[in-house]
């Protein structure tokens, strides 16, 4: 399993960091976790074809996490750029279908993929859930951010990766991440912001979950002025890395 950090930032425009987006390559599949503004172009810059996205999993519907969803759905209608013929799987919390219907009303149907292309599966917003594919399991659990915010656990070939999305400290996330090989946690600000983790809180959550490695992610600008890994290491004794756009890790 290979993880590529497409965007490690937030909704604050930054030359260093794009809006939230991770790509996971495993078993010939391409999974994309969140699709913030600019993610499609960034994927192409990293050699990842947006037509090849097999699974798109959204943690929640804040603009910095879904900013490129409209361009992506619009692009699926144009065969000159989008070459996929088989369906792609879109995962989101229950209520997404209503959200998508609203987008279609606003955009007069132009964000509706061609028939048979979109396989939408809505997940429980308030309890663990999972989707099983051949040689791949994707589990979800609610996080302490907004109603319907989800974290995801990807399991393949005996390896596991967990992505928190946005969250404050959350017991359900600890349970989802238990024993994971890599935990990607937001660490939005060195100072406490409601609904988000500080780097030190991220380290504490990783320690509670007993994970092997921790990757800190989703940084507001103040995080680039401090050693976020050192702050997390005050609570977590395992390996800690700071995410950067384009960083690739083997899980």
Q: What is the pLDDT of residue 196?
A: 97
pLDDT at 135: 93
Number of domains in the chain: 1
pTM of the model: 0.97
Q: pLDDT band at 251, cuts 50/70/90?
A: very high
- Phi, psi dihedrals of residue 163, rounded to the nearest 5°: -120, 125
pLDDT reported for residue 80: 87
Integer Cα distance of 188 and 185 in angstroms: 9
Q: What is the CATH number of the domain that holds 10?
A: 3.60.15.10
Domain that holds residue 214: 2-250
* Burial group, residue 1, by CB count within 10 angstroms (0-12, 13-18, 19+): buried
Which is nearest to 66 in space by CA: 101, 113, 34?
34
Q: What is the mean pLDDT of the chain?
A: 97
Model confidence pLDDT, tens digit, residues 189-231 = 999 999 999 999 999 999 999 999 999 999 999 999 999 999 9
Q: State the pLDDT at residue 35.
A: 98
Residue 140 has pLDDT above 90, yes or no: yes
Instruction: Specify the pLDDT at position 237.
Output: 97
When pLDDT is cut at 50, 70 and 90, the band that residue 79 belongs to is confident
Query: What is the Cα–Cα distance from 55 to 50, expressed in whole angstroms?
Result: 11
CA distance 2 to 249: 6
Average pLDDT over residues 114-136: 97
Mean pLDDT of all residues in 13-40: 97
The string of pLDDT tens digits covering residues 160-180 is: 999 999 999 999 999 999 999
Closest to 65 (Cα-Cα) out of 189, 138, 166, 195: 166
Whether 125 shows a pLDDT value over 90: the answer reads yes
pLDDT at site 210: 98
Average pLDDT value for residue range 36-50: 97
Average pLDDT over residues 86-102: 97
């Amino acid at each position: 399993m290979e993880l590529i950090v497409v965007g490690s930032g937030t909704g604050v425009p930054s030359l260093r960091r794009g809006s939230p987006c991770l790509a996971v390559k495993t078993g010939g599949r391409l999974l994309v976790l969140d699709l913030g503004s600019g993610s499609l172009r960034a994927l192409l810059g990293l050699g990842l074809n947006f037509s090849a996205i097999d699974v798109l999993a959204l943690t929640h519907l804040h603009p910095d996490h879904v900013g490129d969803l409209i361009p992506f759905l619009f692009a699926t209608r144009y065969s000159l750029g989008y070459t996929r013929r088989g369906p792609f799987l879109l995962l989101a919390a229950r209520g997404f279908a209503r959200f998508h219907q609203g987008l279609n009303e606003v955009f007069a149907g132009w964000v509706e993929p061609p028939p048979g292309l979109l396989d939408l599966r809505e997940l429980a917003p308030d309890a663990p859930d999972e989707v099983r594919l051949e040689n791949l399991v994707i589990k979800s659990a609610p996080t302490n951010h907004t109603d319907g915010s989800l974290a995801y656990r990807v399991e393949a070939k005996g390896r596991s990766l967990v992505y928190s999305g946005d969250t404050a400290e959350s017991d359900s996330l600890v349970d989802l991440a238990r024993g994971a090989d890599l935990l990607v946690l937001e660490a939005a600000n060195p100072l406490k912001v409601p609904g988000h983790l500080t780097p030190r809180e991220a380290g504490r959550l990783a320690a509670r979950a007993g994970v092997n490695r921790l990757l800190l992610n989703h940084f507001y600008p103040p995080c680039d002025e401090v050693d976020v890994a050192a702050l997390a290491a005050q609570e977590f004794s395992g390996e800690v890395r700071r995410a950067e756009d384009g960083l690739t890790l083997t899980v």
